[in-house]
């Protein structure tokens, strides 16, 4: 082998090694910020074992969900209770009967988990922005364990409600929703255009965390088919992570352009904690002036 050939081979080998590293990194990181084994294993455990009784205290699970602070929980409950004092608080409280949730006493409204308060506040946003959800077709992308879906069903009776999530979180969601007899809610891991266009697509702290190529699949299948949408976009906080650039997720401005919506980045639509880390809300097809 000539010395020139040796140099070329050595460069080629280094390049291949780099490619391999990058490839395994990408596949290890999966489709989104939460598509990684410790979280998926926690979901699997909760979906199939007695771990269900304590998953909301599980460390790996709480790195992804169930980490709203007590203070943020207070702000969220204050906003919702001022807007809709007539809400069915005791019915909402039932969200915390499963999963070993640690509740906090919030004055006259009693005990809730801060995360349930977030789901209640989001319901109040959606109600102000879009009105009555009875008889509507709703799709939620990345629904956690189904807490938001359950809160919406405690107030309204949508015509259909579909949650799309990864297989392990989806199995946990099914188990959680079955505790409330909500078998009418469809939980799936397949992205596919529904026969009837949705009336409303929701995705909070979820579609914003997903790799751009898959974001586009979700947009084409659901969001761009729907006249109304509500998405809390937490991409700014995530993009600070060094490896995040491989997912190359859309900014809130790009999303707004695609869906023809509005970006909201003010209180009370977002809490102090949301605003502190640059989260925004992207909505379209709203009835309320903002």
Ligand X SMILES: C[S@@+](CC[C@H](N)C(=O)[O-])C[C@H]1O[C@@H](n2cnc3c(N)ncnc32)[C@H](O)[C@@H]1O
Per CB under 6 A, the list member of 165, 199, 252, 274 interacting with ligand X is 165
Angle at 282 between CA 277 and CA 283, to 5 degrees: 150
Per CB under 6 A, the list member of 41, 104, 166, 197 interacting with ligand X is 166
Of 200, 145, 137, whose CA–CA distance to 172 is shortest? 145
Report residue 80 as tokens: 């919702």
Using the contact rule CB under 6 A, the part of the chain among 1-9, 152-160, 205-213, 252-260 near ligand X is 205-213
Q: Which is nearer to ligand X, 32 or 124 (CB)?
A: 32
Residues forming a β-bridge with 210: 32
Q: Which is nearer to ligand X, 166 or 197 (CB)?
A: 166
Per CB under 6 A, the list member of 158, 169, 229, 249 interacting with ligand X is 169
Q: Which is nearer to ligand X, 9 or 69 (CB)?
A: 69
Using the contact rule CB under 6 A, the part of the chain among 10-18, 47-55, 206-214, 277-285 near ligand X is 206-214
Report residue 55 as tokens: 């998953």
Q: Which is nearer to ligand X, 9 or 272 (CB)?
A: 272
| Residue 205 touches ligand X, criterion: CB under 6 A | yes
Report residue 199 as tokens: 């009336």
Per CB under 6 A, the list member of 41, 179, 214, 263 interacting with ligand X is 214
* Cα separation, 106 vs 214, whole angstroms: 39
Torsion sign, CA atoms 119, 122, 124, 130: negative
* Cα separation, 161 vs 150, whole angstroms: 10
- The footprint of ligand X on residues 128-147 (CB under 6 A) is 141-144
What is the x/- site pattern for ligand X, positions 3-42, by CB under 6 A?
----------------------------xx-xx-------
Decide the pairing of beta strands 160-164 and 280-284. unpaired
3-state secondary structure of 111: strand
* Cβ neighbours around 28 below 10 Å, total: 11
Q: Which is nearer to ligand X, 8 or 189 (CB)?
A: 189
Q: Which is nearer to ligand X, 34 or 271 (CB)?
A: 34
Per CB under 6 A, the list member of 204, 226, 279, 280 interacting with ligand X is 204
* Cα separation, 116 vs 37, whole angstroms: 25
Per CB under 6 A, the list member of 120, 139, 206, 219 interacting with ligand X is 206
Contacts of 177 (CB under 8 A, 6+ apart): 146, 149, 150, 183, 185, 187
What is the x/- site pattern for ligand X, positions 39-68, by CB under 6 A?
-------------------------xx---
Contacts of 226 (CB under 8 A, 6+ apart): 139, 197, 198, 199, 200, 201, 285
Provide φ and ψ at 262, rounded to 5°. Answer: -125, 145
- When CB distances to ligand X are compared, the closest residue is 142
Report in angstroms how near the CB of residue 66 gets to ligand X at its nearest. 8
Q: Which chain residues interact with ligand X by CB under 6 A? A: 31-32, 34-35, 64-65, 141-144, 148, 164-166, 169, 204-206, 209-210, 214
């Amino acid at each position: 082998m000539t010395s020139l050939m040796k140099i070329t081979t050595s460069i080629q080998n280094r390049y291949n090694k780099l490619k391999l590293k990058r490839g395994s990194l990408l596949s290890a990181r999966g489709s989104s910020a939460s598509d990684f084994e410790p979280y998926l294993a926690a979901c699997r455990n909760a979906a199939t074992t007695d771990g269900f009784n304590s998953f909301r205290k599980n460390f790996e699970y709480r790195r992804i969900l169930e980490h709203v602070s007590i203070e943020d929980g207070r702000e969220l409950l204050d906003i919702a209770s001022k807007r809709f004092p007539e809400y069915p608080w005791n019915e909402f409280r039932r969200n915390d009967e499963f999963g070993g949730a640690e509740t906090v006493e919030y004055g006259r409204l009693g005990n809730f988990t801060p995360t349930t308060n977030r789901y209640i506040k989001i319901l109040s946003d959606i109600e102000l922005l879009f009105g009555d959800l009875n008889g509507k077709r709703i799709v939620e992308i990345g629904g956690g364990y189904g807490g938001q879906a359950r809160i919406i069903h405690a107030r309204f009776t949508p015509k259909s409600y579909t949650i799309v999530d990864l297989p392990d979180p989806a199995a946990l969601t099914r188990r959680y929703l079955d505790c409330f007899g909500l078998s009418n809610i469809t939980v799936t891991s397949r992205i596919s255009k529904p026969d009837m266009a949705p009336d409303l697509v929701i995705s909070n702290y979820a579609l914003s965390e997903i790799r751009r190529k898959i974001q586009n699949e979700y947009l084409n299948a659901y969001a761009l088919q729907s006249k109304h949408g509500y998405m809390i976009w937490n991409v700014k906080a995530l993009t600070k992570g060094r490896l995040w650039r491989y997912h190359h997720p859309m900014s809130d401005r790009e999303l707004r352009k695609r869906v023809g919506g509005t970006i909201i980045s003010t209180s009370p639509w977002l809490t102090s904690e949301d605003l502190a880390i640059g989260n925004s809300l992207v909505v379209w097809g709203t009835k309320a002036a903002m």
